[in-house]
Structure 1
Amino acid sequence: MSQIFEERFIQYLQNLQTDRGKMATLRKGLIDSQAQATWPLLSRFVDFDKPYQIKTIQTVAGLFAHHPKAVDYGNIGSLCFQLLDSDEKQKLASGESGTISRNFQYALAANNDEILPRVRRLIFRAKANEKVICVNYVQLTTDLLAWNNSFKKEKIKLAWGKEFWKVHADKDSDEAEEVVSND
């Protein structure tokens, strides 16, 4: 699949955004016993011979129906970084973990379809956050569809980690430059 597929998929979801009934149906994609209700809306985007793809498309559509605040930049790593409060940022700076960083690392450790409920938890946190945290659903779809490929998954994990820990890397490099210049 190409990025064009994901863009068309998210554009389709955005076009459904004003239809409350269809959005309610898409939310059923997050409930295993009701997920088949989404098939009439999502059938053009799924290959029914690929259960992981179906579950991924249903999950992204359900998440979008719950939290349709979308952006065209970032990934789960940057979303999780935005979820950090100042206390947890301080913990991270000193090498400790807080709730968000543990949930993020838990997502990074996911195998195959374990990633779907872990990402779902993070998106729900973004929705519940007092500052509106938007989601790059195109990138999320791309990443989740590729998660079953071990080579691609490692690249995705690195990209997520780079976005999550980038501020700390910048701070550390500044401190390293100070030490070098002081010598």
Structure 2
Amino acid sequence: MSLTRREALRAGGLAMVGGLLGLGACSRAPAATAMARRFEVMHSDAEWRQRLTPAQYAVLRGHATERPYSSPLNDEHRHGTFACAGCGLPLYSSATKFDSGTGWPSFWAPLHDAVGEDTDSTFGMARTEVHCRRCGGHLGHVFDDGPAPTGLRYCMNGVAMLFAPG
């Protein structure tokens, strides 16, 4: 994949912001994935920056990864719903949350019609990226090493979600 100068500078800036915020260096130009498509909720880059915290922007729009064990949602055990921090779409029920031991909030299934998936080939390996179905925000990745009944582990960035108890 070839990046324009603007995309390369933006990706580098996101990586720098991620480093300052304690986020992992995994970020790439948003145009390479779900960000290039149209979604129900669309905003300009400037509007996303205004709506989101720097950490939320780095993950949701720049595909950064927060440091393991840094999110309070990893230890959230109340009954409720985890929603997209970008658009508020409910994504996961607390009934599907489990402790994966990875340091990120993990779920064995999303809510119906809540997420979309793309192939992520960064780092020379193919992974399945998970994004919000409504705004395209990067949430994390799904792996096939989770518990029954699905055998899946949706490994999500806590900063990409909000929790609503109840």
Question: TM-score, normalization: structure 1?
Answer: 0.28
Structure with the higher fraction of residues in strand conformation: 2
Question: TM-score, normalization: structure 2?
Answer: 0.30
When Rg is computed on C-alpha atoms for both structures, the one with the higher figure is: 1
Structure with the higher fraction of residues in helix conformation: 1
